[in-house]
Amino acid sequence: MHQPSKPRGSNRKPDDIVLLAELRPIIDQRPTYGYRRVAALLNRQRRRDGLPTVNAKRVLRVMQQNGLTLQKHTALRPTRTHDGVVVALRSNIRWCSDHLEIRARNGEVVRIVFVIDACDREIIAWSAVANAGISGEIVCDLMIAAVERRFKTLKVLHRLEWLSDNGSAYIARQTAQVAAALGINLLFTPVRSPQSNGMSEAFVKTLKRDYASTVILPDGDTILALLPD
C-alpha cells in the first residue's frame, strides 16, 4: 500500500491497428471531419460489409493516439443572441436560399445560389455561374425549378415561405412577381443577422470546409464540373 501508484497509460487493443487501417482512407478523403462523422462513415461501411459497428469513443481514442484529431476551435462566439426558429416541422413549409462564392487559383470566381428545405435539409435546386453575378432572373429560375421538383406543377399547394437575405437578386421586382405567381411568400432576414438564416449558412460552411478546401481548383471550369457531385 505504501508503494507509489503507477500512472495509467492509454488503453490499447490488439486490433487497433486494423481499425486504424480502416480509418485512414476515410480521414484522407475527409480531413475536416471530426471523430463522430468519421465514426458514422466507418460504421456505414462496416454495416455494408456485414461487420459489427465500432463505438465512437474508441474511434476518438485511436485518432488521438495517432494524431488524427482536429485542432480545437478556440474562437470567441458573438454575444448577440438569436431567438428565431429557422427549422420547420415538416417539408415544403419553409425553404431557405443563399448564395456563395468559390475562388479558383487563377482568380476566377464561381457564384452559386441554392435553395434548401428547412426540414429535410435537401438541396432542392441550385445554379452556378462563372465570373458573373447572381441576378434576379437566376433566382426566378431557381424558384420555378424548386416548385416543379417538389410539387410537379407551377403552383404551390399550400403556404410556403422563402427565407433569404436582402440581396439585390432577392428583393428585385421580378423576383417578387414570380414568387407571387408561384404562391410563395418571401421573407427576409434582418440586416447583419446571418443566424436568422442559419440553415443556409451551415450548408455554405460545410460546402467550403469539407469539399472546396480539400481539392485543387485551378479554374472556374473545374469548379463547375465538380459541383454536381
Residue boundaries of the structural domains of the chain: 16-65, 94-226
Nearest to 225 by CA among 115, 104, 52: 104
Predicted confidence at residue 81, as pLDDT, reads 47
Q: Which helix (H) or strand (E) holds 64?
A: helix 56-65
Predicted confidence at residue 11, as pLDDT, reads 72
pLDDT tens by residue, 78-87: 444 455 578 8
Q: Which helix (H) or strand (E) holds 168?
A: helix 168-171
Q: What's CA 159's distance to the chain center, in Å?
A: 26
Predicted confidence at residue 79, as pLDDT, reads 45
Predicted confidence at residue 13, as pLDDT, reads 78
Q: How is domain 94-226 classified at the CATH fold level?
A: Nucleotidyltransferase; domain 5 (3.30.420)
pTM of the model: 0.74
Predicted confidence at residue 6, as pLDDT, reads 60
- The set of long-range contacts for 80-85, using a CB threshold of 8 Å and a minimum separation of 24, is 80/193, 80/195, 82/193, 82/195, 82/196, 82/198, 84/195, 84/196
User: Phi, psi at residue 103, to the nearest 5°?
Assistant: -100, 140
pLDDT lower than 70: segments of the chain: 1, 4-10, 73-84
Report helix, strand or coil for 45: helix
Predicted confidence at residue 63, as pLDDT, reads 93
